[in-house]
Amino acid sequence: MDGLILFESLKKKLSRTSDKLEEEIIEEAKQEDNLQEETGQKRSFFSFGRKKEEEIDESTLLETSEDVPSETEEEKKSRFWSRSKDDEEESGDEEEKPEEEKKSHFWSRNKDNDESGDEKESEVEEEEKSHFWSRNKDKDKDDSPEGTGGLFSFVREKTISEKHVEDTLWELEMGLLEGDVAMEVATEVVESVKEDLVGRKIKRSSDITEYTFNALRNAVSEIIDIPGKSMTEMIEEKKAQGEPLVVMFVGINGTGKTTTIGKLANYYLKKGYTPVIAASDTFRAGAIEQVTHHADNVGVKIIKHQKGSDPAAVAFDAVEHAKAQGKELVLIDTAGRMQTNTNLMDEMKKIKRVSKPDLVIFVGDALTGNDATQQAVKFNEAIDIDGVILTKADADSKGGASLSIGYVIKKPIMFLGVGQGYDDIREYDAEWMLNQLFSEDEVAVEE
């Protein structure tokens, strides 16, 4: 969704992780007199994701500057290895490098280019290259120790060690926690990144950025990929059996349950289904009027009783109505309740017993961050929820709850609320989330 600020602050932390590790290793290499400058301009952390998304042809990234005499791959290699400490041992490693790792060494991949010796081709490449770099020109800043474009290779290959990543990962963990990521998720991300990075062989500073980017992206990808069916698939399955899908919404006060029901009624009406709403918040003053207002606006039927009546009976009636009328979806609104209020939690269990929902959905407010995750844990213990909807993602710059909630309770996020209008809801998509977090757009990389 355009203009979404989700993850704005977290993105900076991720970029910082890469920068810090790079600084650390470059500093050490400087002291070891193991650093040589490369020409070209530095790519930003997030442009590594761009490469992946757009499948940028790596040949456009080849070093073809006039300052550097062109060398064949073999010549480059021998120059490199002749200056290396453990020549034989390390060149053996090079052979064993996984394909992905080899691929990343784009600076040394001008073999084909040189062999062809075609001047026109290199002109085209020069052009393509400058196009590529121009996309990053505002984002790259000159932060190299030598005051150049910040591209370095190491005279002797380096290996990322535990010592190199220690401070960086500690900072990352703190950053994640500040970003409202749950403790267990932060720990998992850090462990996974550490495992991925330590032991990696690096020839140039850009390797560090690329490996850090991939390690973080993979770690987050594992966290947010909770398997589950979509609500639409479930409606279709129930429909095939001649039954409505019954969905009950629970959560603490004011998280957006009622608004979300209005949005979903609208969403599924537009998809050609006929939803019915159960006004089972008979507790809060004005609740029945509020949900009736949404039902009227969207144009769906509402089943309601008097204020103070039994919410389970309202839900039961709505299910019977849907069955009798051949409607495909029952959306049960319930009163907001604190997880600590035993009476109200018991009442919620009764609604579930009586209306036998196919899905119990916890509605959490993304803005409350880690609190939303903790509430989900409590509701899950009390009532065994099946999925989550996070609301107010449009106003959430941290994104900690979006990253954590599914992983912590092992239930999928099904939708994200992204505004106050009826159309402001989107089906959750892990790939989309990942791209929000690891794309260059809408983020100032510089601190």
Residues that bind ligand GTP (CB under 6 A): 251, 253-259, 281, 284, 287, 336, 391-392, 394-395, 417-420, 424
Q: Which is nearer to Mg ion, 122 or 339 (CB)?
A: 339
**N-terminal to C-terminal alpha carbon distance within the chain:** 24
Site string for Mg ion, 336-375 (x = CB under 5 A): ----------------------------------------
Nearer to ligand GTP, 41 or 255 (CB): 255
Q: How far apart are CA 295 and CA 301, in angstroms?
A: 6
Segment 190-219, which members bind Mg ion (CB under 5 A)?
Answer: none
Q: Which residue sits closest to Mg ion, CB atoms considered?
A: 258
Strands (E), 160-251: 201-204, 245-250
Closest distance of CB 253 from ligand GTP, Å: 4
Name the binder of 420 from ligand GTP, Mg ion, none, CB < 5-8 A by kind. ligand GTP
Residue 334, interface with Mg ion (CB under 5 A)? no
Residue with tokens 């120790």: 145
Question: Which listed range, 91-99, 250-258, 364-372, 428-436, lies at the site for Mg ion (CB under 5 A)?
Answer: 250-258
User: Where does 251-297 show beta strands of DSSP type E?
Assistant: 275-280
Which of ligand GTP, Mg ion, none interacts with 259 (beta carbon under 5 to 8 A by kind)? Answer: ligand GTP
Closer to ligand GTP by CB, 21 or 348: give it: 348
**Phi, psi (degrees; rounded to nearest 5) at 397:** -90, -10
| Residue 327: contacted member of ligand GTP, Mg ion, none (CB under 5 to 8 Å, by partner type) | none
Task: Give the one entry of ligand GTP, Mg ion, none that residue 181 binds, where binding means its C-beta sits below a cut-off of 5 to 8 angstroms depending on kind.
Answer: none
Residues 6+ apart with CB under 8 A from 62: 106, 107, 109, 110, 113, 125, 129
- In angstroms, give the least distance from the CB of 285 to Mg ion: 11
- Shortest gap between Cβ of 422 and ligand GTP (angstroms)? 11
Phi, psi of 133 (to 5 degrees): -70, -30
| Residue from the set 104, 110, 255, 258 that interacts with Mg ion by CB under 5 A | 258
Closer CB to ligand GTP, 313 or 395, in the complex: 395
Q: Which is nearer to Mg ion, 105 or 294 (CB)?
A: 294
Tell me which residue has its CB nearest to ligand GTP.
Answer: 336
Handedness of CA 406, 407, 412, 417 (dihedral sign): positive
Give 186 or 277: the residue with its C-beta nearer to Mg ion.
Answer: 277
Q: Name which of 252, 280, 260, 210 is nearest 18 in CA terms.
A: 210
Distance, CA of 80 to CA of 158 (rounded, Å): 12
282 binds Mg ion (CB under 5 A): no
CB 261 within 8 A of CB 303: no
Q: For residue 298, what are the contacts with CB-CB under 8 A and spacing of at least 6?
A: 262, 265, 266, 269, 422
Report the residue number, 279 or 445, with the smaller CB distance to ligand GTP: 279
Chain centroid, CA 34 distance in Å = 37
Residue number, 152 or 415, with CB nearest to Mg ion = 415
- Buried/exposed 288-303: b ≥16 CB within 10 Å, e otherwise: bebbeebbeebebebb
Interface with Mg ion by CB under 5 A: which residues? 257-258
